[in-house]
Amino acid sequence: MKNNLKYWKEDLLINEEQIAYEINNKSGVYIFVCLINKKMYVGSSINLKRRLKTHLAVHSKELRSNIKLKNDKIKYGIKNFGFGILEYINTKDRKEIFYLEQKYLDELFKESKDLIYNISKDAIVTFATYNKGKGKLRSRKGENNPMFGRIGKLNPQFGVLPTNSIRVGLFDSLDNLIKEFKTKKEAYTELKKDTKDFNRLIEHKTILKIDGQLCYFKIKNNPNNIPPTKSIGRDKKAINVYDKNNNLLYNFESITETALKLNIPKSSIQRCQKSESLFKEKYFFKLASKDK
């Protein structure tokens, strides 16, 4: 490796701006070296500045298949790596750049086989993989895309609103709007819940007690009138409500609806229904299916 035009072994993160300035808009073959174990990675790019940023990111998607290099970046830290330019080349032809990279790979595998991060000693394999990926992208453009021409209800994304356009309402037990949120994020941030938990609250219309009031969240805007996904579970069992003299008072579609309409916690309804006990000397709760 005697052809180095430029090499940086100081802290790359501190000197990133200076290095990026020097290699901006340049193509060529580079080397990325661990200063602790002396292992090397040889690569090439039509955009060396962008490739430098890729290497400085520990969990880079572009290099995620190179486990050894990734693990050593985590183990030793980026500050213990050096970056060098083996040769600049004045072209944007990827094939030509890969052939130049191959020249250095051949030399490296011949001299220091045990000190190499590169998975393959054949740069052309990398080039073929790159072209295959580009071919796949091309084959899915325009009329070749399986979604081409599928608009309106024919499109699988029909009715799916982007997260930042979904308005959420907080309602009381009588379905009166208490508060409206412009986005789901605004709602779950105020509630101090994570996204998964909040989506579950909406899907199951979970009853919450906020400031002493029973309430629930519901998606407000549904411009295409798409029916909401029905959750399947115990909560979908219809409930009959009786007074203490066993006279039928109400019939509700679910425990959730019962809790909302009567302003009673779901847990209390479930407990009284299972034990067949009277709630506060006022109500009996029975499953409608078992009550015929």
CATH value at residue 132:
3.40.1440.10
Q: Is the pLDDT reported for residue 173 higher than 80?
A: no
Summarised one tens digit per residue, pLDDT across range 32-81 is 999 999 999 999 999 999 999 888 876 666 666 788 888 898 888 888 99
Summarised one tens digit per residue, pLDDT across range 212-245 is 778 788 776 654 444 444 443 444 678 888 888 8
Examine residue 210 and state whether it is found in any structural domain, yes or no. yes
Q: Are residues 245 and 273 in the same domain?
A: yes
In this prediction the pTM is 0.45
Examine residue 146 and state whether it is found in any structural domain, yes or no. no
Q: Are residues 10 and 123 in the same domain?
A: yes
Q: What would the two tokens of residue 129 be?
A: 């993989």
Neighbours of 179 (CB within 10 A): 13
Q: Are residues 83 and 126 in the same domain?
A: yes
Cβ contacts of residue 30 below 8 Å, gap of 6+? 42, 43, 44, 45, 48, 51, 52, 83, 84, 85, 86
Q: Are residues 191 and 246 in the same domain?
A: no
- For residue 61, the enclosing domain spans 6-139
Q: What is the mean pLDDT of the chain?
A: 76
With contact defined as beta carbons under 8 Å apart, do 36 and 43 qualify?
no
Coil, helix or strand at residue 86: strand
| Domain count of the fold of the chain | 3
Summarised one tens digit per residue, pLDDT across range 250-282 is 888 788 777 777 778 888 888 888 888 888 888
Q: What would the two tokens of residue 174 be?
A: 């009588």
Neighbours of 90 (CB within 10 A): 8
